Chain A
Amino acid sequence: MTTAERIDTDPGTEPGTTLPALGLPATRAAGCPFDPAPGVERALREEPVTRATLWDGSSCWLVTRHQDVRQVLGDPRFSADATRPGFPFFTAGGREVIGTDPTFLRMDDPGHARLRRMLTADFMVKKMEAMRPEVQRLTDELLDRMTEGRGAADLVAEFALPLPSLVICLLLGVPYEDHEFFQRHSGILLSLRSTREEVRAAQDELIGYLVRLADAKRDRPDDAIISRLVARGDLTSAEIAAMGRLLLIAGHETTANMTALSTLVLLRNPDQLARLREDPSLIKGAVEELLRYLTIVHNGLPRVATEDVRVGDVTVRAGEGVVCTLNTANRDEDAFPGGGGLDVGRDARRHVAFGFGIHQCLGQPLARVELQIALETLLRRLPGLRLDIPFEDVPFRHDMGIYGVHALPIAW
């Protein structure tokens, strides 16, 4: 009998089992596109460590409080190694690719640290701060093109997606001409609806592309990241391609969705928008608050226990899966009083939108620079910015691993 089955046969008496097991990924309530799903919010209020069920019928624990999420993600007894039995997957496709192409996102130390440390210098704060003039230039160019002779556009297609894609291509040494190719395949990998076969095919295409790119850099080196990984001499082209895929996807989908969703939530909160326009010096704190409030990694972070560990009122047994919901942690009243509302003046620095522990987002200094510049410039240059379709018609990304909007028709 698996440990997951053992949990299921203990209904209602043990701590953590009084609520009915919640199906993951949980569904948001109609009309509340910025709030966590009612099921996970209820868990946060009533039973902060509770049982959940995954697509394949297996069980795991859901950890919802800020303090408990930080504990689990910061504790090496919770493994991020997706090849361990009991590791919780959100989709069949997720399980399909992870076993064969692991990146350091799904490894434990010391293997994780070895690979991550090959990249930490590339994303460190002073490096990314030095990118500001370049990011500003790209931002202005995209907005020039978007607004020239027109009064309306799709913000996602013309600004939010191209900006971080251009930047990550520059950093990695990937030709931006290929953006349609890698954006399409990233979309398949991140979709919760893709079949196993679709995910496998997209993964193979992307990896094949990056292997060819890495091989080409052996003959024609440049000073971007992929070429420098090649020049180290201690990584295979397959390892470099796996790291490249992680950076390429994480580097454009996340910031793109944060940019568009932030714009939309500000348009829906005109008082907050006005405050930010009146006092642009609020932008750094406002970006942290938007990261907190929107928490676009909306399904939470998966881990598996390697020993018995006490979390809240529950003992998580070795081999049991855990999902840490970052969006409930970021709305936890104990950490963020009044956290159900957006307040661009709040000190939100303790949010866990970038995760916590040794896997905390490597690209966060880049994401911050991009978001601060993109949002500040957009609000300054388009004083008449407004939504160009009824709010009810906005296509939210309920079907994707990274939340946001598929398109955002705006006018100015």
Chain B
Amino acid sequence: MRVLIDQDKCCGAGSCVLSAPDVFDQRDEDGIVVLLNAEPPAALHEAVEEAAAICPAAAITVEQTERV
């Protein structure tokens, strides 16, 4: 899985941080999303999918990469 974020779209609601705190954080200056891990391990995939689904501003995209 590869995670992409769009900081211009982000409205800083923080739902992603609640769903997947190991993958998303908020910038200290303005609360906008930052990515902590662009290729999270399988154990976090469900939480990341949920974060993308509940993001109110569609600022999170999840790409499925091939499993080896």
Q: A120-B30, A121-B31 are in contact. Are A358 and B56 (CB under 8 A)?
A: yes
Chain B residues with CB under 8 Å of chain A are: 11-15, 17-19, 25-32, 50, 53-54, 56-58
**Given A123-B12, A364-B15, A365-B14: 12 more A-B contacts, CB < 8 Å:** A117-B12, A117-B30, A120-B32, A121-B28, A124-B12, A124-B14, A125-B17, A125-B18, A350-B53, A354-B13, A357-B56, A368-B18
Q: A125-B18, A125-B26, A126-B26 are in contact. Are A120 and B53 (CB under 8 A)?
A: no
Main secondary structure of the interface of B (DSSP, over half): loop
Q: A74-B58, A120-B32, A357-B56 are in contact. Are A362 and B26 (CB under 8 A)?
A: no
Q: Closest A-chain residue to B16, C-beta based?
A: A125
Instruction: List chain A residues, Cβ under 8 A from B14.
Output: 123-125, 364-365
A sample of 13 cross-chain residue pairs with beta-carbon separation below 8 angstroms, ordered by A number, consists of A117-B30, A120-B11, A121-B28, A121-B31, A122-B31, A123-B12, A125-B14, A125-B26, A349-B19, A350-B53, A350-B54, A356-B56, A368-B18
User: A354 CA to B18 CA in the complex, in Å?
Assistant: 15
Contact B28 A361 (CB under 8 A): no
Most chain-A Cβ atoms within 10 A of its Cβ — which of B15, B19, B31, B50? Answer: B31
Contact A364 B58 (CB under 8 A): no
Instruction: List chain A residues, Cβ under 8 A from B26.
Output: 120-121, 124-126
Instruction: Give chain A's interface residue range (CB within 8 Å of chain B).
Output: 20 to 34
User: A361 CA to B14 CA in the complex, in Å?
Assistant: 10
Instruction: List chain A residues, Cβ under 8 A from B56.
Output: 73-74, 355-358, 360
What's the least CB distance linking B32 to chain A, in Å? 7
User: A356 CA to B13 CA in the complex, in Å?
Assistant: 10
What's the least CB distance linking A104 to chain B, in Å? 11
Q: Is A116 an interface residue (CB 8 A)?
A: yes
Instruction: List chain A residues, Cβ under 8 A from B18.
Output: 125, 365, 368
Q: Is A113 an interface residue (CB 8 A)?
A: yes
User: A100 CA to B58 CA in the complex, in Å?
Assistant: 31
Instruction: List chain B residues, Cβ under 8 A from A116.
Output: 11-12
What's the least CB distance linking A388 to chain B, in Å? 35
Instruction: List chain B residues, Cβ under 8 A from A125.
Output: 14, 17-18, 26
Q: Closest B-chain residue to A358, C-beta based?
A: B11
What's the least CB distance linking A354 to chain B, in Å? 7
Task: Identify which of B11, B25, B31 contacts A360 (C-beta below 8 A).
Answer: B11
Task: Identify which of B13, B17, B19, B29 contacts A362 (C-beta below 8 A).
Answer: B13
Contact B13 A364 (CB under 8 A): yes
User: A410 CA to B30 CA in the complex, in Å?
Assistant: 42
Contact B58 A121 (CB under 8 A): no
Chain A 309-362 residues near chain B, CB threshold 8 A: 349-350, 354-362
Q: A124-B12, A349-B50 are in contact. Are A117 and B32 (CB under 8 A)?
A: yes
Instruction: List chain B residues, Cβ under 8 A from A73.
Output: 56
User: A354 CA to B29 CA in the complex, in Å?
Assistant: 24
Q: Closest B-chain residue to A347, C-beta based?
A: B50
Most chain-B Cβ atoms within 10 A of its Cβ — which of A120, A349, A355, A362? Answer: A120
Chain A 89-136 residues near chain B, CB threshold 8 A: 113, 116-117, 120-126
Contact B57 A358 (CB under 8 A): yes
Chain A 280-320 residues near chain B, CB threshold 8 A: none
Q: A117-B30, A349-B19 are in contact. Are A362 and B54 (CB under 8 A)?
A: no
Instruction: List chain B residues, Cβ under 8 A from A350.
Output: 53-54
Task: Identify which of B11, B17, B19, B50 contacts A113 (C-beta below 8 A).
Answer: B11
What's the least CB distance linking B9 to chain A, in Å? 8
Task: Identify which of A121, A355, A361 contacts B30 (C-beta below 8 A).
Answer: A121
User: A362 CA to B13 CA in the complex, in Å?
Assistant: 6
Instruction: List chain B residues, Cβ under 8 A from A359.
Output: 11
Instruction: List chain B residues, Cβ under 8 A from A358.
Output: 11, 56-57
Instruction: List chain A residues, Cβ under 8 A from B50.
Output: 349
User: A317 CA to B12 CA in the complex, in Å?
Assistant: 31
Instruction: List chain A residues, Cβ under 8 A from B17.
Output: 124-126
Chain A 357-404 residues near chain B, CB threshold 8 A: 357-362, 364-365, 368
User: A385 CA to B17 CA in the complex, in Å?
Assistant: 34
What's the least CB distance linking B37 to chain A, in Å? 17
Please, what's the 1-or-0 string for A75-87, where 1 marks a CB less than 8 Å from any CB in chain B?
A: 0000000000000
